[in-house]
Chains A and B, each alone.
Chain A
Amino acid sequence: MRRSWVVAVMLLVGGCTGPVRSSPVYESKAGQTAEVVASAVQTALLAVDAAEDGKAYGRYLTQVLVEAEEDAGAAQGTFDGIQPPDDRADELRARLDELLGDATDTLADLRIAARRGRFAELPELARPLPEVAAKLDEFAEAHG
């Protein structure tokens, strides 16, 4: 919900989306991005749990995983489009990008397996996700 509110408010007040000039603003955007991607990762984890227990339909699982990957990818894309204002921001960006890369790579693997109907493989593929989620949370906490 938060992302769309931000969009709503930006539309409303206009002109708030300009280039980020200060480091603190960039940092808070980085924190927000980590939070959004963490939410997508956690969603995928829940879906994989359900798959493991044989609780969900394949179609539904696929849908959840596709959406999780899309959400994470969109957040990453938006963040990468922001110009980092200084050296410190460059460093922050490099650290977050690594985490985001890990997340989106794994989410893509999950999506590919689900689309091919290989639901049994999901738990194995999802193994790195809890650690990625924890790191993203930590990052979001530190830069929120």
Chain B
Amino acid sequence: MSGRVLEAGLHLLDRQLIDSNGRLAGKVDDLELEVPSGGGPPVLTAILAGPGALSRRIGGRLGAWLEAVANRLRGGDDRRPARVSFGVVKGIGSAVDLSVPRVDLETDRLEAWTRDHLIGHLPGAGHAPE
């Protein structure tokens, strides 16, 4: 059995996520790997997106700071970055297409917060420009 060959860094990392409605839903900030229960090479299980994932890519003091901010934003003991399971990935091209709308994704939290608390309150936010 031979499948498509990809390079993680070149073809997947840092690419745009696009939801089922064509809306932008974050970047592939990192990828989650798991060794299958039966052993063998690791398999990609999820795309990690958002500040909590990006922080490790950036590293250094800035990365640590970003991670702290991300943890603070999530609140509680939740230390996991936002995950997008490979089960909802539709295709990988110049962007990564998803089969679900972004509201169903963990990556949408910050966007939703900004809309609900700030931008959504300005007059005309709900109408397309004319």
* Chain A–chain B contact at Cβ < 8 A: no
